[in-house]
Amino acid sequence: MIFNSYIFILAFLPVTLLGYFCLNKKRTELGLYYLLLMSFIFVAFASKYYLFWLFFSICINFFIVKMFEKKEDSSKRSKNMILFAGIFFNVGLLLYFKYSNFFIDSINNVFNLKFNEKNIILPLGISFYTFSQIAFLVDSYRKEITNVKFLDYALFISYFPKFGQGPIVLHEDLLYKFRDKTRKEVNWDNIAKGIQMFVRGLAKKVLLADRFGKAVDYCFANTGSMSRMDVVVLIISYSFQIYFDFSGYCDMANGVSIMFNMELPINFNSPYKALTITDFWKRWHISLTGFLRKYLYFPLGGNRKGKVRTYLNMIIVFTISGLWHGAGMNFVLWGFMHGVCQILHRITGKVFDKLFKPVQWIITFCFVSIAWLLFRSNAVYRWKHFMDRMIFPQTIPLQSDLAACFKIDGLRSIASAFKIPYTDRGIYIACMVAFLVIGFVLCLVPENNQKREYYLNKKTFIMTFALFIICILSLSQVTSFLYFNF
């Protein structure tokens, strides 16, 4: 089940909200049990297989958390062994499901062997809930969490608004909100705010991300005929697709959670406004950056052991960030490139930061966008192919079929009615330019949806309702979110 589907919007969400707040009036914990049940149903709707591995992982990790409590007076060595076993279990599970075939394929390529790849289905959300559980184990080891109940822990991990694509939530962000009595009753202001945020996120996904996605899919299906202009459109289109896809999900996830009176930590903060790559990573997937900084970069020594060690730690962190996103050399190289760029900014920051700000933005946006194309490519050689098309341009102009991916139905009828001369190619290119301009404006001008003010008046109601109807009518084909693949 995904947020941009009829069953979620028209059935699952209203039933869950109604049941949760009704049961909260009867008994304190009954509403939490109901919310846990609905979160499990949310996962099981995709596959019972996903639910099995989620529940199995929750039980093992909760058992380890309880072992920390029982071993409170034990030696540090004993606790270290328990922590190591817990981390080994979680990382091992992730490595098996997500990276088994990647390792097999790498060994086959390096040693010219022919081991068969395994038919493994990646459990939904495992990358996100694995990191959340590792953080929970470490915090329990540090005695930052005590006397947690299974209900609270299971709900913390499986809470459906953040399950599929995060954020990677730490215990202080959510765990204690479930027991907060002030959050148990219906807050109509939060309901209204949550609906507005959800609809804005839905519009980003349905009206923008999916539209740019059509152009991206077309380009990857016709790689042999790409011209320089085609590749430029591809690069910008994928940059906008992943931006509005992930931003839309974050808005929808937080909008849903606000309806339950539980705000999620901000995970997306207008990253294309960044002037440097360092600033970009303070704005993009903030929870992942925070997790890697707290539980990997700092334990490795951070910047406390000299420049060389600092640079090495940065390369390790960003390479692992790339590998976390996907099992492929393109993801590894993508993370490595971002690590190198971070180091270059540290070295040249005093000079770079004095440049004209639009120049800083152009350099940063171009690097991020070109790296995104590597992120999207299934193999490094495909990315290289597109780069070759950029450097060694072909004589083929922008393809009409690529521009047609942006066409708006009914525009030709409007042009005919007003007797405006037109060609199909001209209309396609006009639509494409309009979408690209809209993409840049929405990325660079308005405040991030999780930071903006929400007003409760007739004008807001009409605009939100109209946008909702447009989105519902546009749900002819339900598409999954990009980060579900990671």
Active-site positions?
325
Q: Which among 8, 5, 6 is positioned nearest to 38, based on CA atoms?
A: 8
| Contact indicator for 157, 58 with CB cutoff of 8 Å | yes
DSSP helix/strand/coil, 333: helix
List the structure tokens of 448: 């991030």
Q: DSSP state, 123?
A: P
CA distance 61 to 54: 11
List the structure tokens of 65: 């958390």
Question: Which amino acid is it at 465?
Answer: F
Find the farthest-apart pair of alpha carbons in the chain and give their distance in angstroms, rounded: 85
CA distance 77 to 225: 61
DSSP helix/strand/coil, 467: helix
Chain mean position to CA 96: 22
DSSP helix/strand/coil, 298: coil
List the structure tokens of 79: 């606790």
Contacts 24+ apart (CB under 8 A), 125-128: 125/43, 125/50, 125/54, 125/163, 125/164, 125/165, 126/53, 126/57, 126/93, 126/94, 126/97, 126/98, 127/94, 127/98, 127/324, 127/486, 128/162, 128/163, 128/164, 128/165, 128/166, 128/167, 128/168
* C-alpha torsion 448→453→457→459, nearest 10: -40
**CB neighbour list of residue 376: distance below 8 Å, 6 or more residues apart:** 216, 220, 238, 242
List the structure tokens of 102: 């990647």
